[in-house]
Structure 1
Amino acid sequence: MSAEKITAEKRTEFGKGAARRIRREHKVPAVVYAHGSEPIHLTLPGHDTMMALKHGGANALLEIEIDGQVQLALTKQVQVDPVRRVLEHVDFVAVKRGEKVTVDVPVVVVGEAAPETLVVTENAAVSVEAEATHIPEQIEVSVEGAEVGTQITAADLTLPAGVTLLADAELLVVNVTAAPTAEEVEAELAEAEAEAGIERDEPEAEAADEAPAEESTEE
């Protein structure tokens, strides 16, 4: 994983008001945490930071230039506005080249399982240890041709060189089950609606086969 380069400014103003002013300037408030040192409060360029985080994935690694000095930082938490989808705040952890770090790496399922199967991702990420500059962006799991009953655990994953599994080896990652029939889907839907208190519309009563006979009148 290559580190994206970002130039930052040290932040001296704090609080919600200061954060709003920073965001109005299309910038992002951020903090870099380091063991044994005071947190570094920064202001980052909004667009460049967004693009760096997208490119780096869940564990984006950034080279943050602060007053002419470069700090290697690993992304730990990203806050995004739920409506406007813009960055609101980013937390980083300071790391060094060659340093081992513990991260959760996303699992990506590839391939097509056997017909009439359902592939269920039981755990979408696994915990591993890797060098800060060699964190895998994702771990691929192939289910090509997998039959019903196939179970892939953390121990079955193929990890890149230098990456050590920290998750329980027996952790179930992917489970291949039988695809539900239309009747089973309908039954589950009806049960869920019943639990939610939703009543289904009953079909309208069928019209009578014959119209009622007219009363005869005598002259």
Structure 2
Amino acid sequence: MSEVRIAAEPRTEFGKGGARRTRKAGKVPAVLYGHGQPPRHISLQAHELLHAFKTDAGTNVLLRLELSDGTQLALPKDVQRHPIRGSFEHVDLVIIRTGERVTVEIPVVLVGDAHSDTLVDQQLTTVSVRADATDIPGSIEVDIAGLEPGANINAGQLVLPAGSILDTDAGQVVVQGLAKLTVAQMDAELAGAEQAAGGATAAAAGEKTDASA
């Protein structure tokens, strides 16, 4: 896992107005807390934060904050973004100590090609893992080469990086193989759906006639 240095400035303005002025200045309001320390209100440069998150690990990136009184390792706990523009609105950061273990959500990446008759259904896009805070895996690969219809790959079958422990239920299905429908099967399903819809319409019409009689 990569470590990214980012400058952090103390923040003295609070509330919606203060946060708005902070963002207008090209900075992101943030709060740093954890390990019994009082919360510290800080601001981060928006472009530096965007650069830090542009990694395979996404927001699971280790930040080394450059504060006025030294440096501090931290992990993003909650990242709020504007629903339309996608810009950063606010970030909660948790203080991390070297050697500490944390629980994080790690992206699951499928590699390989399933059997030609298989429709791949990925049920989990992330899994929960406990890992050293300074060695969080960026992603976990799942080999689906040759996956056949009816076959499943559970969380307990994932190959985790050394030192990482699965926190997700081992029995949860990560990916399963479904049988692809043939053209004839799709036509039959469509015809059945149309017939059911027609029957429901006829029943509704009958109920309306009875009610008006």
Class of the TM-score when normalised by the shorter of the 2 chains: 0.7 to 0.9
For the pair shown, which has the larger CA radius of gyration, 1 or 2?
A: 1
The alignment's TM-score, normalised by the length of structure 1, stands at 0.82
Cα shift readout 1:108-152 (whole Å, capped 9, x = no counterpart): 111110012111111111111100011001100010111111110
| 1:116 matches 2:120 | no
Counterpart residue number, 1:127: 128
Q: Which is worse superposed, 15-24 or 179-188?
A: 179-188
CA contact (8 A) 1:58 1:105 kept: no
Task: Indicate the residue corresponding to 2:52 in structure 1.
Answer: 52
Query: AA paired with 2:157?
Result: D
SS at the partner of 1:169? coil
Structure 2 residue 105 is matched with structure 1 residue 107: no
Give 1:90 shift.
1.0
1:35 aligned partner? 35
SS in 2 for 1:31: strand
1:180, distance to aligned residue in structure 2 (A): 2.7
- 2:192 and 2:22 map into 1 onto residues whose CA distance is 51
CA contact (8 A) 2:117 2:148 kept: no
Contact 1:109 1:142 in 2 (8 A): yes
Deviation at residue 190 of structure 1 after TM alignment: 8.6
Unaligned stretches of 5+ in structure 1? 200-219
Tell me if structure 2 keeps the 8 A contact 1:31–1:42. yes
In the TM superposition, what is the alpha-carbon distance from 1:189 to its structure 2 partner? 10
1:91 shift after superposition: 1.1
Pair 1:93 & 2:94 matched = yes
Task: Find the aligned partners of 2:156 and 2:176 in 1 and give their Cα distance.
Answer: 14
8 Å CA contact retained: 1:109, 1:140:
yes
- Structure 2 runs not aligned, ≥5 long: 202-213
Tell me the alpha carbon deviations over residues 56-89 of structure 1, each in whole angstroms, 9 at most, x when there is no partner: 4141110011104111011111111122221111
Q: Which letter maps to 2:121?
A: V
Higher-helix-fraction structure: 2
| Aligned positions, number | 195
2:208 equivalent in structure 1: none
Moved more, 11-20 or 73-82: 73-82
One-letter amino acid matched to 1:116: D
AA aligned opposite 1:126: V
Structure-2 residue corresponding to 1:11: 11
